[in-house]
Structure 1
Amino acid sequence: MKKLILSSSLAAALCALAPASFAATTVSAGVDRMNIGGGRAMNELNLGVTSQSGNMLYGASAALSNPIGGINGMQSRAFAASVGTVVASAGPVELAPSLEIGYDKLGDGALKHFAAGVGAMYSARDVNVFAGLKLGRAFGANNGFDSGAYTAESVGVGYHVGAGMVTVALSSAQLPTVGGHINENRASVGFMETF
């Protein structure tokens, strides 16, 4: 079975629930350009790991802004954990629903979220196209953020280079604020390898 690379965020807490041995583990690293509108943008480092055992998927990810950059000195952090399963695999197409818990921080404000999502991947020779959608609820909000609906979506493409894959992706997360929401839009370039 091909390795499904979910575009949703993942984190280590749920990895502890996973079996001790995995059929495949994918490690990824890259850079993001995160924009929250009004010309406000910052660079981030993103790291992730996804492990597959049978049809089960477990993983973790983080996105961290430049510690001395950010938007007017404002920093961003995003951590998440996910567990999912491949429910359909037909030729070059795979589909996997997942559950995720995460933490998002922007400046002095922060919130947690819980979401259900689905990821899909299409493989054709050396090219993979993947997409994901998550819907959930934000809670534990402070300093300008609020409890409310949490949504995120992503789409990307990967090209196999040697033993790994170069990826380019676009993603967006809508975080509820007091009186509205903030869109965190990310453009990412990265490299992943499966062991």
Structure 2
Amino acid sequence: MWPSIQTRADITFAVAQLSRHLVKPTTDHLNTAKRILRYLKGTRCYRITIKSQDKGKELKLVRYTDSSYADNRDDSTSTGGYAFHLNDSLISWKSVKQRTVALLLTEAEWNAAVTICQEAAYLSALCSEFSLIKLLMTLVTIKADNMSQIALTKRGGVDGRTKHMNNRLHWLREQVNDY
């Protein structure tokens, strides 16, 4: 699990899925774990590279987020994830089983967006510790693929289908407006 958290974003989803079965692993789970280890052995040269910044160019932080919808067969929860790129270099990522059951795909996407905004708040605090004030001002770009989520986050307001998401919606909109 350590490589997926520290250095190998390419195995994060597979490790997250596999870790759901740690209590009662089957032979299939063991075989999958071995396959991941063989993959790591075969791709030892893969690494994270932080690219240098051109002089005079501002730092640019882009956030990507996405979510499945009810992909967990056991409890109908969704899986969400995010990735942060600083000047096209991957610096933070996560794939996580969502804690609540989403009633709509838009809600699953919002849950993932909330997770990415929480990580953005952490990275923002980290940047201020290192006096990277310019970076704080560039935490603007969020890339998402669900048009309903994007529209409701920008537009605001809730309707009959989304009224149960009111608190998360307001918190998410507050985070987007702060940047």
Fold agreement, TM-score > 0.5: no
From the two aligned structures, give the one with the greater helix fraction: 2
From the two aligned structures, give the one with the greater strand fraction: 1
Q: How does the TM-score come out when normalised to structure 1?
A: 0.27
Structure whose CA Rg is larger = 2
Q: How does the TM-score come out when normalised to structure 2?
A: 0.29
